Amino acid sequence: MNKEELITALGELGYPLFTPEKGGLNSEKVLDVLDKLSGSEDSRLIEAFPVVLANCAHRGIKLDIRGLLSRYGQRSQRRANLEKLILASSDLLAQEGLDKPEGLDGTVNLLRVKSGDLLKEKVLDLGKHRSVSTERLRNALRRYVIDLERSESVRERKKRRQLRSFQLELHLSTLFPPKQKELILRKLKGDSLSKTEQEYYSRVVKKKLEGLANSELRKIALALTKK
């Protein structure tokens, strides 16, 4: 996985450095991303580690964390980096009240016995004069949470609009025959009507709408629908 592929995959996993094209993500590819992050020289990329884990939990992607660690020997610096990032990120997820991806907890419990609470430190030492700030890891995760909540709010608004549209279609179909309903929706959108359609709309459809808009009629409708 080269750096361009890594950045694209990160965008799909909730840490966009630019807007990626959507591709296929699976657990093996996620493990490759985490592996690549642990060896990166770019701190912005390393800070994505907890975001990737949070996104996997959100998507229901199960991770073979033990398999990831087994790519390196027990005394390997790369394995040590992965262990630190996995443990610190897992604790950040817990502190932020976020779910963890399936397959993480068992390994994390063993790592905590070995390394303790890494979030007490200001930085994680990743060897070769590399380190990452634990506060920046936390901030990256919080930005992801805010973006996720905002995105879900957008989806909820879209759902409400779709529901209102469905309800409007349903009520119009109850009150008006298909041709009249079509004219109402076209007028509502601002579409132009032919001369014949406009005359029919003014002569028939508009009079029905004026009746529906009558305040006394609305009061009667409200009173009767509550009985």
Distances (CA, A) of 118 to 57, 101, 102, 112, 196: 22, 20, 22, 9, 76
Does the pTM exceed 0.75?
A: no
Structure letter (DSSP) for residue 226? T
Give the three-class secondary structure for 124.
Answer: strand
> What's the CA gap between 212 and 197, in Å, rounded?
21
> What's the CA gap between 24 and 58, in Å, rounded?
16
Distances (CA, A) of 75 to 46, 80, 82, 111, 125: 21, 7, 12, 14, 15
Structure letter (DSSP) for residue 203? I
> What's the CA gap between 6 and 32, in Å, rounded?
9
For residue 198, give the amino acid letter.
Q
> What's the CA gap between 32 and 52, in Å, rounded?
11
Residue spans of the domains in the chain: they are 3-146, 176-225
Residue pair 168/188 in contact by the 8 Å Cβ criterion: no
Residues in the chain: 227
> What's the CA gap between 80 and 167, in Å, rounded?
57
pLDDT tens, the chain, 227 aa long: 776 677 777 777 767 664 444 556 788 999 999 999 999 998 889 999 999 999 999 888 899 999 999 999 999 999 999 999 999 999 999 988 888 998 888 899 899 888 999 999 899 999 888 899 999 999 999 999 888 888 777 777 777 778 778 888 888 999 999 999 999 989 888 889 999 999 999 999 999 999 888 888 888 887 787 66
Contacts of 91 (CB under 8 A, 6+ apart): 117, 118, 119
- Maximum Cα–Cα distance across the chain: 86
> What's the CA gap between 54 and 93, in Å, rounded?
7
Residue pair 60/100 in contact by the 8 Å Cβ criterion: no
